[in-house]
Structure 1
Amino acid sequence: MPPEIDIRGEADRWHYHPGTVVENNPLFDWPPRPRAVLQWYRAYWLVISTTTLSLLMAVLAIWLWAPSPDQTAMPGGWVIAIWLGFLIPHSALAGGLHLWLYRAKGQGHRLKYDQRGQAENNGTFTFRSQVRDNMFWSLVSGISFATLYTVSWFWAAGNGWAATTSFAENPVWWVAWFPLMLLWGSFHFYWVHRALHVPILYRVAHALHHRNVNVGPWSGISMHPLEHAIYFSSLLIHFVIPTSPMHILFHVYAFTLHPICSHSGFDGLLVTDKKRAQLGDFFHQLHHKYFECNYGTVEMPWDRWFGTFHNGTAEATKRTRAFKKQMYTK
C-alpha cells in the first residue's frame, strides 16, 4: 500500500497530522547518509529548538547564578539558587504556552493534534483538574528531583568525588559531550520507559503520567515521584564521566523544558500565521494515544530495532494494536 494512503488513513484519527511519516535520526541509517545527518543536527543546534533553548538556559545559568564546584563543598544558598533556576524557567515556559495555546487560544485549533481541551471536573486527576494535577506533580515532585540530582552532583564535584572538566582542559570532549548527551538520554529513556510499562511499575508509577491521553504543556514531567527518580537518573552519568556545570545544567534543562514543548499538544507555534518554532513531538504523541509504541525518542532507533516503532501511518497503528492485544492477553 502506498505510504500516502497509509498516512491519510491515520490522519483521519487526528485533528492535525504532520502529513509525513515519523523518521529517526539518520545517524544510524545504513548505508550512511552524511547530508541527512548534517541536516538533522542543523535542525537541533542551529535553529530555534528545545535543544538551543536548553543550551541558552545553561549559558544564562552559568552567567547569572550557577555555583562553581569550588563553592559547593558545603550546603548553602547555592542549593536554593539551583532550585529556583529550574522552577522559574519551567513555570514560565509551561505557564506561558498554556496561557497562549489553551486559555487565550492564540492560534485556535491550528496545528493541534487533538482538538479536545484539557480535562476539568474529572476524578481521574488530582484536584479533579488536569492542569492543576500536572502543575502539582511537575513542580512539587519533578523540579524537586531535578534539583536533588543536580545538587548532589555539585556537592560531589565540590568535594572531589565527581570528575570535572572544562573547555580549557579538553575542548574537543567539552563540545562533543553535548550531542553525545542527547544520545545517552535517548538510550536511557527507552530502557527505563520500557521498564515503566511493566504492569507493576505501570500501576504504581507510570499510570499517573498516562492519565494525560490528550496532553498539554504542563503534562511534560507530570509524573509519580518514583518515575521522577527513575527519569532523572540519567543525570547519574555525570558522576562517572568528566563533565562541567554547563553540561549537567544543559542536561536538566533538556529533560525538563523539552517535555513541555513535546507535550504541548500542538505541532508548532504560529506567529503572524506562520510556523515559527517546532513544539509538539508527534512521535511521542503517538505513544500517548496508543501506549505500547514509541517508548524512546527519535534520536536513536531503539523502537525500530525492537519492533515498537510507530511512524504515523495506518499500517503502524494496526501493528501496534496487534502488539498491544498480544501483550494484554498473555
Structure 2
Amino acid sequence: MIMKNIKKAEQCEFGEYNSKGEWRPPYPVKYAPLFETPQKIGVILKWLLGWPGYIWPWHLLFFGVTAATWYWFQPSLEQCRTFNVDWILYMFIRNEILIWMVCGAWHLVLYILKLQGTKQKYDPRWQNKGNKKFLFKNQVLDNIFWTCCSAVPFWTAYEVLFMWAYANGKIPFLEWAMHPVWFVAWFFLIPVWREFHFYWVHRFLHWKPMFKRYHSLHHLNVNPGPWAGLAMHPVECFGYFSVIMIHWIIPSHPLHMLFNAQLTALTPAGGHHGFEGPILNGKVPTGSYFHYLHHRYYRYNFGECLIPFDKWFGTFHDGSFDTDPSRPWQDIKNK
C-alpha cells in the first residue's frame, strides 16, 4: 500500500517521499528576509511586492474581504452604541458565512472534489473516520463543530466588544484624514503583530498543564485539513483571538480591527489544508509546510515564517535530512 501511494505520488513535478509515502517540498523551510542579516534591500522589496509575497495575493485578498465587510456587511457605529441581539446576531451569522466560504471552499476543492489528488499533499492519507478520539468519530465533523461552535463565537464576541467600544469612545479612534500615513502603515504592521502574539500565546498553550487540558484538542489533527485551523477549545479561542486587544491601546479604525480579526480567523484554513502550493496546475500559491511540521512534531515551529522566534529559541525544524534523523527520507525524486 505504501509503495502504491509513492508510485502514484511520483507523478508530482517536484518533491520527495519517505518510506511511508509522506511528501515534502524539495527545499527546506525558510523565513521571510525581513530579519536576515545583513539586510538586503532588493530581496526584501521582492518579498514585499512580488508574487507570491507579503502583500500579494493573500494579504491583499483578505484586505478586500475586510473592506467589503466594513462597507456592506457591518452594522453602523450608531447601531453598535448599545448591545442589541439584532446586530450581534447579524455579525455572528456573517462570520459563520465567511468561515464556511473559506474553510468550505478549501475542503470542497481539495478533499471532496480532490482536484489536486494527493499531489503535493504532505500526508497521503485523507481525513480520519471511525476514530473515537474525534467527536462523531469523524475528523472533519469534529473540526467543523469546534470551528463553528467555539472559534466563531469568540471571534464574534471580540468584534462585538470592539464595535461597541469604538461607537462609545472607549478606545482611541484613528481617522484617515488625521494620520493617513499611520492609517496605511497599520495595515502592513498588523500581520507582524499577529505573528508576535501567536508565538507567545502558542508557547503558553504548550506548557504541559495547558497543553493537556486545552491545546491537545487542536493537536488531535496530526494530519490536518482546512477545518482544523480553528478547531480549538474555548479557552484556546479566548487567547488566540485576544490578538485584537492591541486596538484597545493603539489608535486604530474599525477597518484595522476587522482586518486583524479576519486574518486571525480566515487564514488558518490555508495553513492547515495539508498541501504545498502552488496547487491547481500551479496557479494558487498556498500551504504551510512550516506549520505542518509543528503538527507532525509538536515540539517544533511554534511560530510562523515571518519572525524567526523558533530559530532564536532553538525550536526551528526546516524539514531537511539533518534536522530529522529519526525519520530518514528516501531519495525518491521526480524528474
TM-score (norm 2): 0.88
SS in 1 for 2:283: strand
- The equivalent of 1:230 in structure 2 is 239
SS in 1 for 2:242: helix
Q: 1:52 is matched with which residue: 60, 78, 86? A: 60
Q: Is the 8 Å Cα contact of residues 112 and 266 (structure 1) preserved in structure 2?
A: yes
Taking the aligned partners of 2:105 and 2:196, their CA distance within structure 1 comes to 30
- The equivalent of 1:62 in structure 2 is 70
Q: Is the 8 Å Cα contact of residues 58 and 253 (structure 1) preserved in structure 2?
A: yes
Q: What runs of 5+ residues in structure 2 fail to find an aligned partner?
A: 1-14, 328-335
What's the CA shift for 1:11?
5.9
SS in 1 for 2:214: helix
Q: Is the 8 Å Cα contact of residues 120 and 129 (structure 1) preserved in structure 2?
A: yes
Taking the aligned partners of 2:183 and 2:65, their CA distance within structure 1 comes to 17
What's the CA shift for 1:125?
0.5
- The equivalent of 1:142 in structure 2 is 151
What's the CA shift for 1:47?
2.8
- The equivalent of 1:316 in structure 2 is 323
Worse-superposed segment, 75-84 or 189-198: 75-84
Instruction: Quickly say closer, same or farther: Cα 1:285–1:250, change in 2 above 3 A.
Output: same
Instruction: Quickly say closer, same or farther: Cα 1:37–1:12, change in 2 above 3 A.
Output: farther
- The equivalent of 2:313 in structure 1 is 306
User: Cα deviations across residues 28-86 of structure 1 (Å, max 9, x unaligned)?
Assistant: 1111111221122223454322x223211101101212134343110233222321222
SS in 2 for 1:72: helix
- 1:68-147 residue pairs with structure 2 within 5 A? 68-76=76-84, 77-147=86-156
Taking the aligned partners of 2:292 and 2:313, their CA distance within structure 1 comes to 19
Taking the aligned partners of 1:168 and 1:11, their CA distance within structure 2 comes to 57
Instruction: Quickly say closer, same or farther: Cα 1:135–1:181, change in 2 above 3 A.
Output: same
Worse-superposed segment, 178-187 or 209-218: 178-187
- The equivalent of 1:4 in structure 2 is none
SS in 2 for 1:134: helix
- The equivalent of 1:281 in structure 2 is 288
Taking the aligned partners of 2:184 and 2:264, their CA distance within structure 1 comes to 19
- The equivalent of 1:24 in structure 2 is 31
- The equivalent of 2:212 in structure 1 is 203
Q: Is the 8 Å Cα contact of residues 72 and 155 (structure 1) preserved in structure 2?
A: yes
Q: Is the 8 Å Cα contact of residues 9 and 313 (structure 1) preserved in structure 2?
A: no
SS in 2 for 1:113: coil
RMSD between aligned alpha carbons? 2.0
Q: What runs of 5+ residues in structure 1 fail to find an aligned partner?
A: 1-7, 321-330
Q: Which amino acid aligns with 1:80?
A: L
Instruction: Quickly say closer, same or farther: Cα 1:47–1:11, change in 2 above 3 A.
Output: farther
Taking the aligned partners of 1:270 and 1:309, their CA distance within structure 2 comes to 26
SS in 2 for 1:131: helix
SS in 1 for 2:28: coil
User: Cα deviations across residues 132-174 of structure 1 (Å, max 9, x unaligned)?
Assistant: 0000000111000000111111111111111111222211111
Instruction: Quickly say closer, same or farther: Cα 1:39–1:68, change in 2 above 3 A.
Output: farther
Q: 2:196 is matched with which residue: 169, 187, 198? A: 187
Q: Is the 8 Å Cα contact of residues 102 and 266 (structure 2) preserved in structure 1?
A: yes
Residues 1:264 and 2:273 are matched in the alignment? yes
- Between Structure 1 and Structure 2, the one with more helix by share is 1
User: Cα deviations across residues 219-248 of structure 1 (Å, max 9, x unaligned)?
Assistant: 011000000001111111111111111111
Q: Which amino acid aligns with 1:24?
A: Y
What's the CA shift for 1:10?
7.9
- The equivalent of 1:244 in structure 2 is 253
Worse-superposed segment, 287-296 or 239-248: 239-248
Q: How many equivalent residue pairs?
A: 311
SS in 1 for 2:81: coil
Q: Is the 8 Å Cα contact of residues 16 and 23 (structure 2) preserved in structure 1?
A: no
Q: Is the 8 Å Cα contact of residues 26 and 40 (structure 1) preserved in structure 2?
A: yes
What's the CA shift for 1:113?
0.8
- The equivalent of 1:37 in structure 2 is 44
